[in-house]
Amino acid sequence: MILYDMVQAPNPRRVRIFLAEKGIEIERVEIDIPAGQNRTPEYLAINPRGVVPTLRLDDGSIIDESIAICRYFEGLQAEPNLMGRDAREAATIEMWQRHVEFDGMFQVASIFRNTAPHFAARAHPGSAPDLPQIAALAERGRALVPRFFDMLEKQLANNAFVAGDRFTVADISALVTVDFARWVKVRVPESCVQLHRWYAAVSARPSAAA
Amino acid sequence: MILYDMVQAPNPRRVRIFLAEKGIEIERVEIDIPAGQNRTPEYLAINPRGVVPTLRLDDGSIIDESIAICRYFEGLQAEPNLMGRDAREAATIEMWQRHVEFDGMFQVASIFRNTAPHFAARAHPGSAPDLPQIAALAERGRALVPRFFDMLEKQLANNAFVAGDRFTVADISALVTVDFARWVKVRVPESCVQLHRWYAAVSARPSAAA
């Protein structure tokens, strides 16, 4: 089993934190996306979508998408549980994970992909055709991220963690998103005291360094 | 338990098809999004994000996000299984479900939300602040959808269904996406024979009428 990884990128970090929480170590191969290593014929033969992280199983088949990779390891090793123990909890964690992705992470990614100079000609990830950046889309992202922080602030006023009273995959996505937002100079406002309290707690976990 | 629904909209249809496959019937309340019923104070008190579908449980708490709602019912009633029976299968189905969402459904939604006249001032779903449409984003969607059809065509050349040899939630998302694409006059090319074969099969299931 090999994890195609990129140390700096937010999505692979989600998987690495997840694995660190589970105490699972696997072989990793670094793919340099800005240098185009995800679009070489060799890499596209492994994953035609050209994305990382990608998990390659021993029979050569792959699982990509960070959350699907997490789901695989959750199934292989149930504890510590990060995706829910019963129907209600699994659905609540998935709901929050998706809130974080769609309302937060995707918006930050939208700012980044549509402004970063080295993605000027390929504003869409992976092996998508070359597409120009859209400045208005980055602006839309900047208009939406404060709403994401506000949503988390309200949720964390009543909950220790993003999906309830314990650390889950929703916290992993949220932590990675808050750090990713710094890349585009978007920071959690000082007024979000709950969010700062939560951020300090999840950043202090050993897994955050993964 | 109440499902806040909108019969015409693609995301609620995913949940209805999922429930029909499971043979589950629940109370539904119709929310008219173009008329703004998802942004009334009454509805925002139920779900501050202002989206449908939203499942309201008997204790008043909610689960939104189509796939999280599906996960809830999968946990309540395991058969027929639509989200995977073991780690490998659950991860593979989730991977394909996400491929369909991100590479297909989101691109079609992007075309729709950035061109539909009644969303001219609110190009982002739910209770997001009013945001203008971005014509270039609709164009980007149009550039990406053919790649989605091509991805499915290749997968369906070797598999009866999107995530393998049986019908799963990934087929539900894909069916809804192909039908949603018609709204913006994007159709599966005649050359995609596997995709047409699959579409005829999944559309003929009684659940497709849900």
Lowest mean pLDDT among B84-98, B120-134, B190-204: B120-134
Q: With CB atoms and an 8 Å threshold, state whether B49 touches A88.
A: no
Residues of chain B positioned with their CB less than 8 A from the CB of A151 = 48-49
Which of A87, A123, A137 is facing B72, going by the closest CB pair?
A: A87
The pLDDT of residue A64 is: 96
Share of chain B above pLDDT 70, in %: 100
The C-alpha atoms of residue B41 and residue B34 are separated, in whole angstroms, by: 16
CATH, residue B48: 3.40.30.10
Mean pLDDT value across residues B61-75 = 97
Q: Is residue A37 in some structural domain?
A: yes
The pLDDT of residue A66 is: 98
One domain for residues A120 and A165: yes
Mean pLDDT value across residues A182-209 = 98
Share of chain B above pLDDT 90, in %: 94
Q: Are B168 and B161 in contact (CB under 8 A)?
A: yes
Boundary (domain end) residue, out of A52, A76, A100: A76
The pLDDT of residue B44 is: 96
Our CA-based measurement puts residue A88 at a distance from the nearest CA of chain B, in whole angstroms, of 6
Q: Is residue A92 in some structural domain?
A: yes
Q: For the complex shown, is ipTM > 0.90?
A: yes
Within an 8 Å CB–CB cutoff, is residue A95 touching chain B? yes
The pLDDT of residue A37 is: 96
**What domain count does chain A have?**
2
One domain for residues B38 and B69: yes
One domain for residues A110 and A52: no
In DSSP terms, B4 is beta-bridged to B29, B54
Within an 8 Å CB–CB cutoff, is residue B85 touching chain A? no
Q: Are A49 and A63 in contact (CB under 8 A)?
A: no
The C-alpha atoms of residue B152 and residue B130 are separated, in whole angstroms, by: 34
Boundary (domain end) residue, out of A13, A47, A76: A76
Within an 8 Å CB–CB cutoff, is residue A41 touching chain B? no
Residues across chain B: 210
CATH, residue B161: 1.20.1050.10
Task: Give the range of the structural domain holding residue B58, as residue numbers without chain letter.
Answer: 2-76
Mean pLDDT value across residues A159-177 = 98
Could you tell me how many CB contacts below 8 A there are between chain A and chain B?
109
Q: Are A141 and A147 in contact (CB under 8 A)?
A: no
pTM of the predicted model as reported, rounded to 2 decimal places: 0.97
Residues of chain A positioned with their CB less than 8 A from the CB of B64 = 95
The span from the first CA to the last CA of chain A, in angstroms, equals 18
| pLDDT tens digits for range A101-145 | 999 999 999 999 999 998 998 898 898 889 999 999 999 999 999
Sheet holding B2-5, edge to edge: B27-30, B2-5, B54-56, B62-64
H or E stretch at A70: helix A66-76
pLDDT band at A18 (very low <50, low <70, confident <90, very high): very high
Sheet holding A27-30, edge to edge: A27-30, A2-5, A54-56, A62-64
Boundary (domain end) residue, out of B44, B76, B108: B76
The pLDDT of residue A4 is: 98
The pLDDT of residue B168 is: 98
The pLDDT of residue A177 is: 98
Mean pLDDT of the residues in chain A: 97
Q: With CB atoms and an 8 Å threshold, state whether A134 touches B131.
A: no
| pLDDT tens digits for range A83-106 | 999 999 999 999 999 999 999 999
Q: Are B173 and B107 in contact (CB under 8 A)?
A: no
Give per-residue burial for A74-105: e unless 16+ CB within 10 Å, then b. Answer: bbeeeeebbbbeebebbbbbbbbbbbbbbbbb
Within an 8 Å CB–CB cutoff, is residue A99 touching chain B? yes
Within an 8 Å CB–CB cutoff, is residue A86 touching chain B? yes
The pLDDT of residue A38 is: 95
Q: What angle do CA A49, A55, A56 make, to 5 degrees?
A: 90
Using N-to-C axis directions, what is the helix angle for B169-183 and B135-158, rounded to 10°? 140
Q: Are A63 and B91 in contact (CB under 8 A)?
A: yes
Count Cβ atoms below 10 Å from residue B35 Cβ, excluding itself.
Answer: 10
Using N-to-C axis directions, what is the helix angle for B135-158 and B193-203, rounded to 10°? 90
| pLDDT tens digits for range A54-72 | 999 999 999 999 999 999 9
Residue B63: φ, ψ to 5°: -125, 120
Count Cβ atoms below 10 Å from residue A186 Cβ, excluding itself.
Answer: 20
